[in-house]
Amino acid sequence: MINNPPGARLSQRIGAASRVDLEYFCRTCKGHFASTVPVTQMYDATCRCGSSNLLVYNVAGELGAPLQPR
């Protein structure tokens, strides 16, 4: 049983995500970007410039991902 703090609401969405939204900072081109990638390729993500030297600061599964069209 999970104890939630007062006022907290749980999402009604239940399931496994097949894609994730990544928000990251590229250490090569010095830009902040976001992209949606398959879960299986999450650790192989690259920037638009082709660099894999990323600082990922936010990951959201597609069930709660703000970048996914509804």
What are the sequence ranges of the domains in the chain? 19-61
The predicted model gives 54-59 an average pLDDT of: 91
Q: Is the pLDDT of residue 67 over 80?
A: no
At residue 27, the pLDDT reads 95
Please tell me the pTM assigned to this model: 0.62
On average, the pLDDT of the chain sits at 76
DSSP H or E segment with residue 36: strand 31-38
Per-residue pLDDT tens for 18-50? 888 899 999 999 999 999 888 888 889 999 999
At residue 28, the pLDDT reads 95
Q: Which residues of 34-61 are buried (b: 16+ CB within 10 A; e: fewer)?
A: eeebeeeeeeeebbeeeeeebeeeeebb
In degrees, to the nearest 5, what angle opens at C-alpha 36 toward C-alphas 30 and 40? 110
